[in-house]
Amino acid sequence: METRSMLAQAMELPKRKLTGTERLSEMERWDSMAMLNFMALVDAHYGVTLSPDHLVQCESVAEVEALVEETRNGNHAGVHSVD
């Protein structure tokens, strides 16, 4: 599942509703519950835990996608799962 699909699922939106240009701060559905959902999806899918401090700073879908990539590559302060 790609990051944008996970974001849409976390916010309970159809995937096609997210174009990638939205300002997350202007989306009512981007609340703490949606962030939790998104963190859980990313953890389950990629085995990495996003930093909530960095996630909350993301202004756009593209920035969230970049954060996920950076965390997966170990270039961010995200925490890798201990399995």
For binding to another protein (CB under 8 A), which residues are involved?
Answer: 32-33, 35-36, 39-40, 43-44, 49-53, 55-56, 79, 81-83
**What sign for the dihedral angle of Cα 33, 35, 37, 39?**
negative
For the record, the structure tokens of 19 come out as 């174009």
Q: Is 78 exposed, middle or buried (0-12, 13-18, 19+ CB in 10 A)?
A: buried
In the complex with another protein, which residue's Cβ is closer, 15 or 40? 40
By beta-carbon proximity to another protein, the closer residue of 14 and 21 is 14
Q: Find the shortest distance in angstroms from Cβ 46 to another protein.
A: 12
